[in-house]
């Protein structure tokens, strides 16, 4: 546990030393701010209802690009610079390295989400009857978004483990996030697959994300996200261990 924390602290401070954290958090807030308050198509003022739906609709698509940008460096750079050898020959297990790096990236995502609570407070104050917001749905959506971020981060760490090249890691991660989030939904619409559409969509993130966003925390959705994340972290650990095959 202490070792996970050591790797975590190194990577976390690295995100701040290299400006990645500031830029990610900044861009996320600017983009969600624009969609929520300025762009007429999705702005709350045009929409007229006190709710954060447009934030939660747009955030997965921003995460789809932002999370791979955060995670692309984490293992690819270690392999490229040879510092992975430095880590792997210290008394650290591969799991400790994977978890340390995973939680460092995940915390950046959570830090990016944290300031958006201001949006909620604002809408809470602006409602015609003050406080006329569906708080349950908002809390559910935040939980959903964090779980979605956790899944995307696992994909990103995995992509970073399979390539020394950060750009390749980024592109693979964006592609996998897209497939997992909305690609499976779209595939289920293919005519010849229609008999299986419920199974296919149930493998996609979107269905579970929507379900949690309604404010109902179903254990099935929770289990889905946990096993999704665990699966990608397991493949990552296996990839790191493959040097010993």
Partner 1 sequence: MSIVVSNISKTYGRQNAVDQISFTAQPGCILGFLGPNGAGKSTTMKILTCFIPPSSGKASICGYDVVTQSLEVRKNIGYLPEHNPLYTDMYVKEALGFMADVYQIPNKSKRIAEVIELAGLGLEQRKKISTLSKGYRQRVGLAQAIIHNPPVLILDEPTSGLDPNQIIGIRNLIKELGKTKTVILSTHIMQEVEAICHQIVIINQGKLVADDSIEGLKNSHPAKTLEEIFIYLTNAVLQND
DSSP string, 88-142: HTSS--HHHHHHHHHHHHHHHHHHHHGGGHHHHHHHHHHSSSTT-S-HHHHHHHH
Do 153 and 71 meet the contact criterion of CB atoms below 8 Å apart? yes
Q: 32 or 105, CB closer to partner 1?
A: 105
Burial track 166-201 (b if 16+ CB lie within 10 A, e otherwise):
beebbebbbebbeebbbbbbebbeeeeeeeeeeebb
Do 37 and 125 meet the contact criterion of CB atoms below 8 Å apart? no
Measuring CA to CA, which residue among 245, 242, 235, 244 is closest to residue 102? 235
Task: Assess 85 for contact with partner 1 (CB under 8 A).
Answer: yes
Do 151 and 64 meet the contact criterion of CB atoms below 8 Å apart? no
Task: Assess 88 for contact with partner 1 (CB under 8 A).
Answer: yes
Distance CA 79, CA 81 (A): 6
Q: 57 or 93, CB closer to partner 1?
A: 93
Task: Assess 165 for contact with partner 1 (CB under 8 A).
Answer: no
Distance CA 228, CA 33 (A): 30
Q: 89 or 192, CB closer to partner 1?
A: 89
Task: Assess 92 for contact with partner 1 (CB under 8 A).
Answer: yes
For partner 1, which stretch binds (CB under 8 A), given 13-21, 44-52, 192-200, 230-238?
A: 13-21
What value, to the nearest 5°, has the Cα angle with vertex 65 and ends 18 and 57? 125
**Which of 14, 134, 185, 197 forms a contact with partner 1 (CB under 8 A)?**
14
**Which of 10, 117, 118, 127 forms a contact with partner 1 (CB under 8 A)?**
10
Q: 7 or 148, CB closer to partner 1?
A: 7
Q: 54 or 74, CB closer to partner 1?
A: 74
**Which of 90, 196, 198, 227 forms a contact with partner 1 (CB under 8 A)?**
90
Joined together, the tokens standing for residue 22 give 């500031």
Task: Assess 16 for contact with partner 1 (CB under 8 A).
Answer: no
Q: 220 or 245, CB closer to partner 1?
A: 245
Residues 24-83 that bind partner 1 (CB under 8 A): 81-83
Task: Assess 86 for contact with partner 1 (CB under 8 A).
Answer: yes
Do 196 and 82 meet the contact criterion of CB atoms below 8 Å apart? no
Distance CA 176, CA 178 (A): 5
Q: 195 or 245, CB closer to partner 1?
A: 245
For partner 1, which stretch binds (CB under 8 A), given 5-13, 160-168, 191-199, 216-224?
A: 5-13
Token look-up 């493949």 returns: 235
At its nearest, how many Å lie between partner 1 and the CB of residue 89?
4
Interface ranges with partner 1 (CB under 8 A): 2-3, 6, 9-10, 13-14, 17-18, 81-83, 85-86, 88-93, 243-244
């Amino acid at each position: 546990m202490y070792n996970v924390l050591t790797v975590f602290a190194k990577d976390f401070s690295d995100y701040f030393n290299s400006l990645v954290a500031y830029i990610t958090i900044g861009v996320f807030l600017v983009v969600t701010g624009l969609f929520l308050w300025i762009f007429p198509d999705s702005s709350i003022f045009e929409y007229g209802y006190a709710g954060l739906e447009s934030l939660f609709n747009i955030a997965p698509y921003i995460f789809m690009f932002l999370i791979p940008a955060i995670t692309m460096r984490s293992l690819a750079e270690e392999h490229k610079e040879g510092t992975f050898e430095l880590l792997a020959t210290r008394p650290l297990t591969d799991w400790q390295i994977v978890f340390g790096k995973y939680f460092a990236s995940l915390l950046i995502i959570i830090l990016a989400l944290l300031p958006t609570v201001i949006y909620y407070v604002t809408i809470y104050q602006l409602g015609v009857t003050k406080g006329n917001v569906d708080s349950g749905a908002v809390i559910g959506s935040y939980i959903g978004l964090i779980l979605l971020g956790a899944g995307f981060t696992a994909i990103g760490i995995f992509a970073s483990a399979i390539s020394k090249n950060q750009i390749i890691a980024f592109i693979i991660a964006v592609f996998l996030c897209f497939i997992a989030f909305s690609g499976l939904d779209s595939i289920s619409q293919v005519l010849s697959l229609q008999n299986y559409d419920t199974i296919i969509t149930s493998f996609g993130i979107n269905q579970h994300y929507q379900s949690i966003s309604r404010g109902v925390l179903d254990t099935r959705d929770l289990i889905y996200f946990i096993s999704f994340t665990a699966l990608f972290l397991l493949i990552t650990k296996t990839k790191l261990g493959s040097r010993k095959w």
